[in-house]
Structure 1
Amino acid sequence: MTSGCGHLKVQLEKGAGNLYNIYRRLLQIIYPSELKLYQMKAALIRCDVRGCTARQHELLLCTQCNTCRCLNHINEHAAKTSTLGKRHDFAISLEYGHIFCNDCHDYVYTAEMERLRTEAYDSNQRFLGLPRSGQWSLNTHCIEPIAITSSSNIADHSLRGIVNLGNTCFMNSIIQSLVHMPAMRDYFLSDQHTHPNTSKSVCLMCMVNEAFQELLQPNWEEPVVLKQLLGFLWSSSKQLAGYHQQDAHEFLITLLELLHSHSKPIESPILSTDCKCVIDKIFTGQMQSDLTCNSCSHVSVRVDPFLDIALNVPIPVNGELEAITLEKCLDRYVQNETIPCTNCEKCGGRGLTKQLTFKKLPIVAIFQLKRFHHEGQLRKKISSIVRFPMELDMTRYLTAYHTDASQFDSNKGSCSALKRQYNRYELYAVVQHSGSMDTGHYTCFVRRGQQWFKCDDDAVYAVPPSTVSMAECYLLFYQTTALKFQSPMDTST
């Protein structure tokens, strides 16, 4: 994005008031604050070129007519109008709200345009009952996407590996996954953390901040050594101490809890709805448990916070691996479960039906596939194949969806239906476990821009998405797309 567009400058000199008025009216469609404007936007979300399957964030609306084209086809419209002597040089992004210059083939802006865009964005947030612009930016464009070959045999020249200090692949995989989560990356790279004035002489947040800074430097030839961080974690958590192999999920939860305690001098416990620290802000969601009496239909509701979502993986039958999807695992997670030996708190009747749903989704959703099975003395790993999507819609697992699914029917034009975009997630990291429970090894796949990389301790190299999709996934890190299309100049929370 640039503010130095000569074509935009010429247009403004011809009539700044007219262009800004057009921009203001179009922003009302991009960031609607009325239901009829949402319906108008919904009618525009497709490229005019027959057969084009471009998604919403790739679509542009001409500022001088109602032509809607994707990035690949908008130049054809500009060229045609220019031939007819009617230059349609500018278009507006249906998702970003930014002006696109066909001559520069780039997004352009002025300070006044950015002010108008922010005002429209805040108005839309108020309409949806969502947070407005705040002090901390969670946009995903601080680091430009990189273009690199997808060959798995070529080392990447911008991502750094982490030295294995002795069975520390579990730590390396988790750190790489967190570093490449846009929400976490943007927080640390924008210098949001400052060492609190507390009795703690050592700050874990400061250590992680330094790790982020090191790992995101382009000094790819020299891997990072996290000796100080490992030593601190050993001293802070007895179960993590020593050179024997640890569980990556256990390490992740312990690390997040420790980061919470070091993020701010607050007394709120981890997973508290009153806590405003960065860890709770990014990772904490709310789970609702409904217990329905089979006799009197009384419903007992309980809401609990969560950091991650643990999903059961089917055990192979007759030695055959069952192919299953992440969505099927989630379907089983929220399906009704009969609890026959429990009494109703109201009528005393025996037998309840339990259902779990998500009352509030986090910014980053972490899924743990429960592959390690313990039953008495029996310990084994479940190697069932689990397919997972690059994009995940969590709408049908929400409490509100199970209460009234019709409000999420986009055909009914409901305001709530438009909130579905805040339930959509994109995959950014996958931690996989190979081998057995006793001799296994952790690696991870992380995403930068549209390119995926495999991180195997100090070795990092580019891989195609097909390699990622075949991973023996153990942990999946998804981030909501609601933050994806904010401007780098935004201060949206």
Structure 2
Amino acid sequence: MGGNNSKLGLDKALAESKDNIYGLENFGNTCYANSVLQALYFCQPFREKILQYASQLPEDAEENLLTCLAELFAQINSMKKRTGAVAPRKFVNRLKKDNELFRSYQHQDAHEFLNYLLNQACELLEEEEKRKRGGAPLPPGSPSPRTWVHDIFQGKLVNETRCLQCETVTRREEEFMDLSLEIDQNCSLTSCLRNFSATEMLDKDDKFFCDHCCCLQEAQKRMLIKQVPTCLILHLKRFKYMEMQGKMRKLMYRVVFPLELKLSNTTADAVGADSMFSLAAVVVHVGSGPTHGHYVSLIKSHNTWLFFDDESVAGIDESQIQSTFGSTQEYGSNNTDHGYLLFFERSGAKTSIVS
């Protein structure tokens, strides 16, 4: 995917930014981690916070997944040479020690790894905050501490259910770190988001218990975004269990995603509803099935796009992102590079969407 101009693209990125651009060594099918780590490293708000965290770590800090991640990012950031490759051995060893799911050399899911890493980071930061309070519990009814990881990635959904008998609307809020979107053949990211928030009918055996009516009633429900995160992660659900076949399979569907995005499935009073998002990274699954394959990432560093394939780094043209949309044909296509995780950073601009 690097193309003939890969060296030129990499030189351009090095000239236009102060970023160090490093590949990550693969320790036996750890591409799922490498691709996500690159996306997080080039997520500017996250990198700034974790480097700040790394600078404040005491020398005798107890090792955990977050400290290993901070040390890895600090190592890349402090390299005197602008480009090369590093070995995230300490981080990978800690990951395998903490979670048996990642101990084997089998193909792993990048989305599962991302969820685990962000949730662990939040838990570890919350534990640190608790230790600072001397282990004292929070007062009853107090919300859990909000960490800088929450500030960057967490948004809020509201589940609205309208009883069709009494018209009472019940609202239930929940937080999210990423949104998982169902996909169809030859669709767009905006249509996936619309379907995510489409009104669903609750009837027959799936009626809603209305507290106002005190019985089961037909109802309509929908899910809307009430609070927009600073960095929005969208997960395209390319792996699906097929009951007829009795196994998981990969959906090769073509899903077009834009370089700029404005969310339309927000509540009227949503925080950040008018924000524009810019595509910052794409984690790509390469392969024809869910249990084998490879992960790479396409990442924007300032005004230049880069292609990361474990230790290898190349510059690419922005137009090459389209090659990860998928195939217009479900079968018989040689294209197995498909966008899987999309990282968008909120820019605050109010320009029209590029579709």
Task: State the TM-score, normalized to the length of structure 2.
Answer: 0.80
Q: Which among 141, 153, 169 is matched to residue 299 of structure 1? A: 169
Distance 1:427 1:273, change over 3 A: farther
Counterpart-to-counterpart distance in 2, 1:448 and 1:161: 14
Task: State the TM-score, normalized to the length of structure 1.
Answer: 0.58
1:363–1:479: 8 Å Cα contact kept in structure 2?
Answer: yes
Distance 1:390 1:292, change over 3 A: same
Which residue pairs with 1:432 in the alignment?
284
Residue-pair matches, total: 308
Indicate yes or no: 2:325 matched with 1:462: no
Q: Which among 83, 95, 104 is matched to residue 242 of structure 1? A: 104
Distance 1:251 1:367, change over 3 A: same
Counterpart-to-counterpart distance in 1, 2:262 and 2:59: 41
Which residue pairs with 1:389 in the alignment?
258
How many angstroms does 1:190 deviate by? Answer: 4.2
Amino acid at match of 1:392: L
Q: Which runs of 5+ in 2 are unaligned?
A: 12-19, 131-136, 325-337, 350-355
2:240–2:251: 8 Å Cα contact kept in structure 1?
Answer: yes
Which residue pairs with 2:117 in the alignment?
255
Whose radius of gyration is greater, 1 or 2? 1
1:156–1:220: 8 Å Cα contact kept in structure 2?
Answer: no
Counterpart-to-counterpart distance in 1, 2:83 and 2:240: 39
How many angstroms does 1:231 deviate by? Answer: 0.7
Which residue pairs with 2:225 in the alignment?
358
How many angstroms does 1:211 deviate by? Answer: 1.5
How many angstroms does 1:153 deviate by? Answer: 5.5
Indicate yes or no: 2:25 matched with 1:163: yes
Name the SS for the 2:68 alignment partner: helix
Counterpart-to-counterpart distance in 1, 2:47 and 2:318: 22
1:295–1:349: 8 Å Cα contact kept in structure 2?
Answer: no
Which residue pairs with 1:374 in the alignment?
241
RMSD: 2.7
Name the SS for the 1:229 alignment partner: helix
How many angstroms does 1:249 deviate by? Answer: 0.2
Counterpart-to-counterpart distance in 1, 2:255 and 2:283: 13
Amino acid at match of 1:426: S
Task: Choose between structure 1 and 2: higher strand proportion.
Answer: 2
How many angstroms does 1:193 deviate by? Answer: 5.6
Distance 1:274 1:191, change over 3 A: closer
Distance 1:196 1:324, change over 3 A: farther
Identity of aligned pairs, percent? 26
Name the SS for the 1:184 alignment partner: helix
Q: Which runs of 5+ in 1 are unaligned?
A: 1-148, 315-321, 403-415, 484-493
Within a 5 Å distance, the mapping from 1:41-440 to structure 2 comes to: 151-152=5-6, 154=8, 156=10, 158-190=20-52, 194-195=56-57, 201-216=62-77, 217=79, 219=81, 222-264=84-126, 265-267=128-130, 274-314=144-184, 322-340=185-203, 341-342=206-207, 343-347=209-213, 348-376=215-243, 377-394=246-263, 396-400=264-268, 421=274, 423-435=275-287, 436-440=289-293
Which of 1 and 2 has higher RCO (CA within 8 Å, sep 6+)? 2
1:284–1:362: 8 Å Cα contact kept in structure 2?
Answer: yes
Amino acid at match of 2:66: M
Counterpart-to-counterpart distance in 2, 1:351 and 1:463: 52
Distance 1:335 1:150, change over 3 A: farther
How many angstroms does 1:202 deviate by? Answer: 0.9
Counterpart-to-counterpart distance in 1, 2:50 and 2:259: 25
Task: Choose between structure 1 and 2: higher helix proportion.
Answer: 1
Counterpart-to-counterpart distance in 2, 1:202 and 1:233: 11
